[in-house]
Amino acid sequence: MNVDLILEALRKTFPAETIEVRAMPVNETFVTLPPACIRPAAQVLVEQLNLRHLSAITGQDTGSEIELLYHFWDGRGLTLRASLPREEPHIATLTDLIPGAAFYEREVCEMLGVTFEGHPDPRALLLPDDWDGEAPLRQQPSPTPAAPRHPLPLPTLGEGGG
Amino acid sequence: MTNACPCLTATLWGRLERDMLDSLVRWARRKSPWILHFNSGGCNGCDIEILDLLTPRYDVERLGILKEASPRHADILLCTGPVTRQSRDRLRRIYEQMPAPRWVVAVGSCSCSGGVFRDGYNVLGGVDQVLPVDMYISGCPCRPEAMIDGLVRLLEMIE
Amino acid sequence: MTDWLSALFALLVFPGFGFLFVCALAFQWIDRKVAARLQGRIGPPWFQPLADFIKLMAKEDLLPTGAHEWACAALPMVSLATVLTAALYIPVGGWVTSAFEGDLIVVLFLLSIPALAYFLAGWLSVSVYSVVGGSRSLLQYFAYEVPFLMALSGPAILSGSWSIARIAAQQSETVWMALVQPLGFLLAIVGLIGKLKRSPFDIPKAKSEIVAGPLTEFSGRKLALWHLTLHMQTVVGIFLLVNLFLGGPGIGLAVPAALIFGVKVLLILLALSVASVLYARLRIDQLASLGWRVLAPLALAQMLTIIWIGVG
Amino acid sequence: MTRMTIPIGPQHPALKEPLSFLLTVEGERIVESVLRMGYVHRGIERICQNRNYVQNVHVVERVCGICSHIHTTTYCQGVEALLGLEVPPRALCLRTLLCELERIHSHLLWMGVLAELIGFTTIFMYAWRDREIVLDIMEELSGGRVAHAVNVIGGVRIDLDAEMSHSILVRLDELERQIETLLGVIQHERTFRARTRGVGHLSAEQVRRYCVVGPTARASGVDVDLRRDAPYAAYDQLDFRVITAEEGDVWARTMVRLLETIESLHLCRQLLAELPQGALTVRAPRRVPPGEVVSRGEAPRGELVYYIRSDGSDKPARVKIRTPTLTTLITLPDQLRDVNTADVPAVLAGVDLCIACADR
């Protein structure tokens, strides 16, 4: 993977945007883009540069905003970063470009409450069916306390222990 | 007089017979514990050690232990891992499907107390939060030897 | 009076329930032990099958809501009864309890009833796995039964009699059928594995696919009876094969006939155990194609050859 | 033909861990499958935010019991990069040694599980019997059969001397003979082939679309392996082949994994022969300077990604774990379409699911 080539392609696609580039440890390049550019940028990566392996999507709540990190990989790492507002964050889905992104997006959606517009199946991925708390990775004192100790009436003892 | 005697004999005989039958059944239960394994949120470490029990080095079939697939056939429920919210109801349902007499064994530290995950937002704690546990086997992960020891002690309790 | 008593003895002790019960437990133990040793394990102690049986008998008997209660209770009894009845017509080491011309056909008929009961048990106990297992057991029945029947009719045709005792006795005078019809013998063993739903043909009760097949929802006493039926079927099936293929009781040697019979029976049991260890489980469509493309044509060819030789 | 719904899981003998599939079948053919996971979701990413960096080594070790070591390796590697630590070469080699032993253990375990699920109990017994050799070695090295607690931030906790290294080499030779026997049996056993050939097929194009990694991808002819593509730990000094196959079915995955175990054995031998002398750890400060890092490692199941962000305190602000199983789970509805219900266990086992990894 040639990072310069990718940056050139991205700058050509978004001439009006400022693209911040930082080299990070372990062969990684972080590129910050406005949220609206993520999907076109992914399109460029997939269709023009044949960079199709999306390793992961990390979502994090920095306290002031929700950050999404799209980790691509092709011999070197390339991470696209976008910042979303904390109130009703939403961004376009990548599932039609990269079907493998479906689970990553579902996870970010339930963990941080980010809406992925156009996601074909936005069900919860990991949280239980009866989850009624906040999105658990949002910064807050504690994400819905784990259900209290002894939350259920214990079944009658006696059949066991013979 | 003529009535009392056979009556007494019959009672004595009946009791003897019942005792013999009782001890026979207890013997059979001790010698033939069939286990069902359910992971309610564990990391896999204990689960592979449970499977390891069946393999040549530990071979628990020599103790009569068989790993069954259906809750209806099992005597002992081996639980691994902490109980997560999603698997809580399933764990209870499996227990309810098991015919009496049945026993529950918590295998591994998570299953005993919640282990390293006890403050997780999706973790309810150990198996005893949901089911009555008859035997706790600690360890992270639990060694196969410890499991055999725990199971044998449970079987002694059946006595 | 003595007639009546001896009939009762035959039903309950030998060669009826008592004898078959002991054999079923012993065979089950031998089978498990041999398989374990072949897999590098130690295997269960000798009383294991007995402990399993008693424990299951003493366990709570549950059925899911919606299952046919009386049918589920009756089916294991019916199949156990048919197996026991079949056993009465099979000579054990030269001991003939009852025999008549054509009892082979009756025995084969009786032995196929448990397969049907097994299917019904799956169908009536409402669980999805049971239903799938039941329909698989029926499919399997059609795959193995035809070659099995054709293979077993070989000795009957050749010896000109449909009485098991007479076929066995005739072999004492001539030669073992297994030597005359090695192919038929092989087909009969393969068919028997299918009939007993043993590995590698344990498709209807494949643990990793459909839990325990038709028996998934059975527990306690009913399960114990089902297991007993299956293991008694093993015993009866092996006895039948020994009588039809491995020669008759008397060979004029000093050794008692019962001992020789026992050795032959053990040989077949060992063959079954080894086969169960050596192969992966087949899929139902693979078994069907094996049954109809390979086993059935072979059995047919063998039968036609016998008829041709017999007539010529 | 009537349609029927068959539930597979959460408690099902084909699954060692809870996962739920609702299969809609026509006869024995599957037309649709719906996946529900999350039964083992413990919220590890959140737990990690509440513990300090040192405690987290033990938490991430318990993401998965089968590939525990690669989790700590990738995590420690990330934290070390944030700290700018130079880990001593001996420590890197020992880390790598454990990684490879773990790969052998994981692949043999998988072989056994697959064999059991297709009804071949004997192979299961043999594979797991041979696996005990690796477990013994790992136990002698670290004190744990399954969880090793070998890695610390800045190095490793274990050491070995010449005598132990010799005894390991002897046992590795024995293991190689056993694995070759196993390979021979599997290649020649017709029933095994009948149950795995053409089952659970994934094309190279599907692998790329779903971003599948590891042996599953390699069995479909996609040549990816982080050990070669982005050498971490001591892999840059080692010489090994990346095994690939073209067929993309369970059979190909079996071959890839078994040949990989042999390759891993060679790697272990190289490591033991060229083990550098020197320190085992460097001192690591408790507080980590602000920064972020993406750390990658090749787990037995494929690419493992850790993203760690530090805000300057002694606890990480975010630990994101992307495990290889998540990528294979997404392909399962595709793999299961039009498959015979009897092949479901083979398909599920074939991709080597580790639900504990995927749910975290």
Query: Which among C280, C285, C286 has the least Cβ separation from residue D120?
Result: C280
The b/e string for A39-60 (b: 16+ C-beta within 10 A; e otherwise) is: bebbebbbeebebbbbbbbbbb
pLDDT, tens digit, 9 for 90 and up, residues D235-275: 888 888 888 888 888 889 999 999 999 999 999 998 888 88
Domain holding D125, by residue range, is: 43-325+341-346
Q: How far is D276 from chain C (nearest CA, A)?
A: 40
Enter the ipTM.
0.83
* Tokens 């008998």 sit on residue: C57
Strand partners, D5: D24
> Which residues of chain B are within 8 Å of residue D16 when distances are taken between CB atoms?
39, 44, 47-48, 51
- CB within 8 Å: B28 and C207: no
Nearest-angstrom CA–CA distance, A85 and A69: 15
Contacts of residue D273, Cβ cutoff 8 Å, sequence gap at least 6 = none
| Cis status of the peptide bond prior to B6, with omega within 30 of 0 | no
Q: Does C281 touch chain B (CB under 8 A)?
A: no
Lowest mean pLDDT, pick from A7-21, D57-71, D119-133, D301-315: A7-21
- CB within 8 Å: C212 and B100: no
Question: Can you give the pLDDT at residue C19?
Answer: 84
Nearest to D333 by CA among A103, A54, C210, A104: A103
Q: Count Cβ atoms within 10 A of the Cβ of residue A5 and give its class: 0-12 exposed, 13-18 middle, 19 or more buried.
A: exposed
Q: Does B55 touch chain D (CB under 8 A)?
A: yes
> Which residues of chain C are within 8 Å of residue D5 when distances are taken between CB atoms?
128
Nearest-angstrom CA–CA distance, C94 and C246: 13
Q: In what order do the strands lie in the sheet with B103-107?
A: B66-67, B34-39, B76-80, B103-107, B135-137
Confirm if D23 and D359 have CB atoms less than 8 A apart.
no
Best residue of A121, A126, A137 to probe chain D, by most D CBs closer than 10 Å: A126
End-to-end CA distance of chain D: 40
> Which residues of chain A are within 8 Å of residue B26 when distances are taken between CB atoms?
162
Cα nearest neighbour of D15 on chain C: C208
Q: What is the dihedral of CA C137, C139, C144, C150, to 10 degrees?
A: 130
Nearest-angstrom CA–CA distance, C72 and A6: 69
User: From 3.90.550.10, 3.20.20.70, 3.40.50.720, 3.30.460.80, which CATH number describes the A3-88 domain?
Assistant: 3.30.460.80
Nearest-angstrom CA–CA distance, B10 and B18: 12
- Quickly list DSSP for C116-172: HHHHHHHHHT--HHHHHHHHHHHHHHHHHHHHHHHHHHHHHHHHT---HHHHHHHHH
In A46-154, beta strands by DSSP E: 54-61, 66-73, 77-84, 90-92, 115-117
Nearest-angstrom CA–CA distance, A76 and A51: 11
Q: How far is D165 from chain A (nearest CA, A)?
A: 31
Nearest-angstrom CA–CA distance, D255 and A22: 42
Q: Which two tokens stand for residue C281?
A: 């489980």
Q: Count Cβ atoms within 10 A of the Cβ of residue C4 and give its class: 0-12 exposed, 13-18 middle, 19 or more buried.
A: exposed
| Residue B69, helix vs strand vs coil | coil
Segments making up each domain of chain B, as ranges: 1-31, 32-158
DSSP C203: G
CA R_g for chain B: 20
Rounded to the nearest 5°, which phi and psi values hold at D152?
-125, 160
Confirm if D191 and D120 have CB atoms less than 8 A apart.
yes
- CB within 8 Å: B158 and A151: no
DSSP B53: T
Cα nearest neighbour of D14 on chain B: B69
pLDDT, tens digit, 9 for 90 and up, residues C17-47: 788 888 888 998 998 899 888 888 888 888 8
> Which residues of chain A are within 8 Å of residue D82 when distances are taken between CB atoms?
25
Cα nearest neighbour of D79 on chain A: A25
Nearest-angstrom CA–CA distance, D219 and D201: 10
Rounded to the nearest 5°, which phi and psi values hold at C291?
-60, -45
Strand partners, D21: D8, D35
H-assigned helices in chain C: 2-12, 17-38, 48-57, 69-88, 103-124, 128-159, 164-173, 177-180, 182-195, 207-210, 220-245, 257-278, 284-289, 296-311
> Which residues of chain A are within 8 Å of residue B85 when distances are taken between CB atoms?
128, 130-131, 147
Query: Which among C35, C128, C280 has the least Cβ separation from residue D195?
Result: C280
pLDDT at position C312 over 60 = no
Contacts of residue D164, Cβ cutoff 8 Å, sequence gap at least 6 = D140, D141
Confirm if D339 and D199 have CB atoms less than 8 A apart.
yes
Nearest-angstrom CA–CA distance, D2 and D5: 10
Q: Does D6 touch chain C (CB under 8 A)?
A: yes
- CB within 8 Å: B44 and D65: yes
Can you give the length of chain A in residues? 162
pLDDT, tens digit, 9 for 90 and up, residues B11-24: 777 777 778 888 88
Question: Can you give the pLDDT at residue D104?
Answer: 92
* Rounded alpha-carbon distances, angstroms, from residue D323 to B82, D81, D82, D306: 21, 20, 21, 9
- CB within 8 Å: B62 and C47: no
Residue C203, sorted as left (phi over 0), alpha (psi -120 to 50) or beta, turns out to be alpha
The one-letter code for the residue type at C52 is: D
User: From 3.40.50.300, 3.40.630.30, 3.40.50.12280, 3.30.70.260, which CATH number describes the B32-158 domain?
Assistant: 3.40.50.12280
Confirm if D314 and D287 have CB atoms less than 8 A apart.
yes
- CB within 8 Å: B29 and A162: yes
Query: Which among D6, D7, D117 has the least Cβ separation from residue C208?
Result: D117
Give the max Cα distance, chain B.
75
pLDDT, tens digit, 9 for 90 and up, residues C143-179: 888 888 888 888 888 777 788 877 877 777 777 777 7
Relative orientation angle of helices C164-173 and C103-124, to the nearest 10 degrees:
130
pLDDT above 70 covers a percentage of chain C that reads 93
Question: Can you give the pLDDT at residue B6?
Answer: 59
Nearest to D24 by CA among D43, D36, D13, D8: D8
pLDDT, tens digit, 9 for 90 and up, residues B11-59: 777 777 778 888 888 888 888 889 998 888 888 888 888 888 888 888 8
Query: Which among B52, B84, B141 has the least Cβ separation from residue D128?
Result: B52
Best residue of C39, C42, C126, C219 to probe chain B, by most B CBs closer than 10 Å: C219
Q: Count Cβ atoms within 10 A of the Cβ of residue D67 and give its class: 0-12 exposed, 13-18 middle, 19 or more buried.
A: buried
CATH number for the domain spanning D105: value is: 1.10.645.10
Best residue of D118, D131, D340 to probe chain C, by most C CBs closer than 10 Å: D118
pLDDT, tens digit, 9 for 90 and up, residues A8-49: 777 777 777 777 777 766 677 888 888 888 888 888 888 887
In a domain, D172, yes or no: yes
Query: Which among B86, B116, B119 has the least Cβ separation from residue D58?
Result: B116
Q: Please report all neighbours of B, defined by 3+ CB atom pairs within 8 A.
A: A, C, D
Query: Which among B32, B61, B99 has the least Cβ separation from residue C41?
Result: B61
CB proximity under 8 Å: C 22-61 to B: 32, 36, 39-45, 47-48, 50-55, 58-61
Best residue of D320, D351, D359, D360 to probe chain A, by most A CBs closer than 10 Å: D320
Confirm if D157 and D151 have CB atoms less than 8 A apart.
yes
The C-alpha angle A56, D54, D65, rounded to 5 degrees, equals 60
Nearest-angstrom CA–CA distance, C200 and C277: 8
pLDDT at position A144 over 60 = no
Q: Which two tokens stand for residue C248?
A: 């008759």
Rounded to the nearest 5°, which phi and psi values hold at C173?
-85, -35
pLDDT, tens digit, 9 for 90 and up, residues D172-206: 999 999 899 888 888 888 888 888 888 888 888 88
In a domain, D83, yes or no: yes
- CB within 8 Å: C40 and D191: no
End-to-end CA distance of chain B: 40
Nearest-angstrom CA–CA distance, D29 and A57: 35
The set of long-range contacts for B129-132, using a CB threshold of 8 Å and a minimum separation of 24, is B129/A149, B129/A150, B129/A151, B129/A152, B129/B83, B130/A152, B130/B40, B130/B83, B130/B88, B130/B91, B130/B92, B131/A154, B131/A155, B131/B77, B131/B79, B131/B91, B131/B92, B131/B95, B131/B104, B132/A154, B132/A155, B132/A157, B132/A160, B132/B104
- CB within 8 Å: D16 and B48: yes
Query: The whole model's pTM is what?
Result: 0.87
pLDDT at position A151 over 70 = no
Task: Please state whether beta strands D20-26 and D29-36 pair in parallel, antiparallel, or not at all (unpaired).
Answer: antiparallel
> Which residues of chain B are within 8 Å of residue C39 when distances are taken between CB atoms?
56
CA atoms within 13 A on the CB side of A52: 20
Per-residue pLDDT band for B159 (boundaries 50, 70, 90) equals low
Chain A contact residues (CB < 8 Å to B): 127-131, 133, 136, 142-147, 149-152, 154-155, 157, 159-162
| Numbers of helices and strands, H then E, in chain B | 5, 7
Q: Please report all neighbours of D, defined by 3+ CB atom pairs within 8 A.
A: A, B, C
The one-letter code for the residue type at D245 is: A
The b/e string for D199-213 (b: 16+ C-beta within 10 A; e otherwise) is: bbbbeeebbbbbbbb
End-to-end CA distance of chain C: 50
pLDDT, tens digit, 9 for 90 and up, residues C257-278: 777 788 888 888 898 888 888 8
Question: Can you give the pLDDT at residue A161?
Answer: 33
Nearest-angstrom CA–CA distance, C310 and B159: 65
Query: Which among B85, B102, B125 has the least Cβ separation from residue A160?
Result: B102
Rounded to the nearest 5°, which phi and psi values hold at D356?
-60, -40
Q: How far is C11 from chain D (nearest CA, A)?
A: 38
Per-residue pLDDT band for C252 (boundaries 50, 70, 90) equals low
Nearest to C66 by CA among C161, C131, C20, C4: C131
- When divided into structural domains, chain D yields a total of 1
Q: Does C277 touch chain B (CB under 8 A)?
A: no
Chain B contact residues (CB < 8 Å to A): 26, 29, 84-86, 88, 92, 95-96, 100-104, 119-125, 129-132, 134, 157-158
Rounded to the nearest 5°, which phi and psi values hold at C100?
-150, 165
